[in-house]
Amino acid sequence: MDYPSDRVTVAQLRARFPELLNGNGLYKSELSSTTLDIVATMALEQSLAAKAFAKAAGLPDPDPEPLVNRRETVEMLNEDYRRYGISSGIQQTRELVRSFEAAAASLGKAAKGSSR
């Protein structure tokens, strides 16, 4: 399954975190927190996808009491997607999110069908 963050390139990461990717940065432990930026983006995407998959598969919600709701998650993704040049604004972000949620739901439906 594809996620919008899959489009983030090393060049984009280098522009955002030059100190991390300058050759020596990878070995400095204090820089590890900067990598959380893209990791958090991917985690947000995966949490929405997991919910869509579970719902379509007839499984329990994998995170029934999330720290942030779907709307807030999409808003956070919008900030990240704009920062990385993945999206030009909230409408495009919503479309991107709907797309990977639909892909996850399709996988969930297939899993539900094959488990019968």
pLDDT per position as a tens digit, 11-65: 887 787 776 666 655 555 555 555 667 888 999 999 999 999 999 999 999 999 9
**Alpha carbons 36 and 68: distance in angstroms, whole number:** 18
What is the tally of structural domains in the chain?
1
pLDDT of 82 above 90: yes
Per-residue pLDDT, 57: 97
Per the structure, the complete domain to which residue 85 belongs is given by: 4-114
Would you state the structure tokens that stand for residue 49, as one six-digit string? Answer: 């996808």
Output phi, psi for 41, to 5 deg: -60, -50
